[in-house]
Amino acid sequence: MAMAKVFTIPVPPQIGRKRRERTADPRYVDGQRLLVEAMRYLAQADPVNNRGAIELLSEHVRTRFRMTDSPLS
């Protein structure tokens, strides 16, 4: 069985470059809070019938929301 070759290209750090200060975007935090509140509401209202919706929201919070909606963009 042949193994794949991995090539790495080292990139020297830019010493003079200023780093952008990270600040939390309140819309990002509010969006997460809103989704969690929606899941909590659905779970309290009817957890059995709302299971699919809760799973969809949970998956969105765990993957796409965090990957695509960065507070730093």
User: For residues 24, 30, 31 and 35, what is the CA-based torsion angle, rounded to 10 degrees?
Assistant: 130
Cα–Cα distance measured from residue 59 to residue 37, given in angstroms and rounded to the nearest whole number = 15
Query: pLDDT per position in the chain (73 positions), as tens?
Result: 666 777 777 878 777 777 777 677 788 778 888 988 999 999 999 999 999 998 888 887 776 555 455 544 4
pLDDT number for residue 73: 47
Give the max Cα distance, the chain. Answer: 57
- Stated pTM of the model: 0.54
